[in-house]
Amino acid sequence: MKIPGKTALVLGASKGIGKHIALALASAGANVVLTYYDWPEDSRKMQQEFAALGHEHLAVKIDLRNADEIAGLFARIEKRFGGLDILINNIERGGMPVVHGPYTPEQWDLEMATTLKAKWFVFNHALPLLKASGEGTAITISSIAALVGRSGPAGLIFNDGYSAANRAVSSFTETWARQGAPEVRVNELMLGFFETRHAEGTRGWPLLSEGEQQAIINHTLLGRTGKLADISKALFFLIEDASFMTGSVIRLDGGYILGAERVPPMPAGVL
Question: Which of the two residues, 123 and 40, has the higher pLDDT score?
Answer: 123
- For residue 237, the model assigns a pLDDT of 97
Q: What is the mean pLDDT of residues 197-220?
A: 96
Q: What is the mean pLDDT of residues 208-216?
A: 97
Domain assignment present for residue 122? The answer is yes
Domain assignment present for residue 117? The answer is yes
Domain assignment present for residue 151? The answer is yes
Range 255-261, long-range pairs (CB < 8 A, 24+ positions): 255/220, 255/221, 255/222, 256/144, 256/148, 256/154, 256/192, 256/193, 256/216, 256/219, 256/220, 256/221, 257/144, 257/147, 257/148, 257/192, 258/221, 259/218, 259/219, 259/220, 259/221, 260/152, 260/219
Lowest mean pLDDT among 76-80, 215-219, 257-261: 257-261
Domain that holds residue 38: 7-252
Q: What is the mean pLDDT of residues 204-216?
A: 96
- For residue 270, the model assigns a pLDDT of 92
| pLDDT at residue 118 greater than cutoff 80 | yes
- For residue 250, the model assigns a pLDDT of 97
| pLDDT at residue 100 greater than cutoff 80 | yes
pTM (2 d.p.) = 0.93
Domain assignment present for residue 47? The answer is yes
Dump pLDDT digits (tens) for 128-159.
Answer: 999 999 999 999 999 999 999 999 999 999 99
CATH number, domain containing residue 79? 3.40.50.720
Dump pLDDT digits (tens) for 63-90.
Answer: 999 999 999 999 999 999 999 999 999 9
- For residue 173, the model assigns a pLDDT of 97
- For residue 143, the model assigns a pLDDT of 96
- For residue 41, the model assigns a pLDDT of 85
Domain assignment present for residue 78? The answer is yes
Domain assignment present for residue 257? The answer is no
Instruction: Count the domains in the chain.
Output: 1
Domain assignment present for residue 268? The answer is no
Domain assignment present for residue 2? The answer is no
| pLDDT at residue 192 greater than cutoff 90 | yes
Dump pLDDT digits (tens) for 5-44.
Answer: 999 999 988 889 999 999 999 999 999 999 999 877 888 8
For residues 32 and 90, is the Cβ–Cβ distance under 8 A? no
- For residue 66, the model assigns a pLDDT of 93
| pLDDT at residue 95 greater than cutoff 80 | no
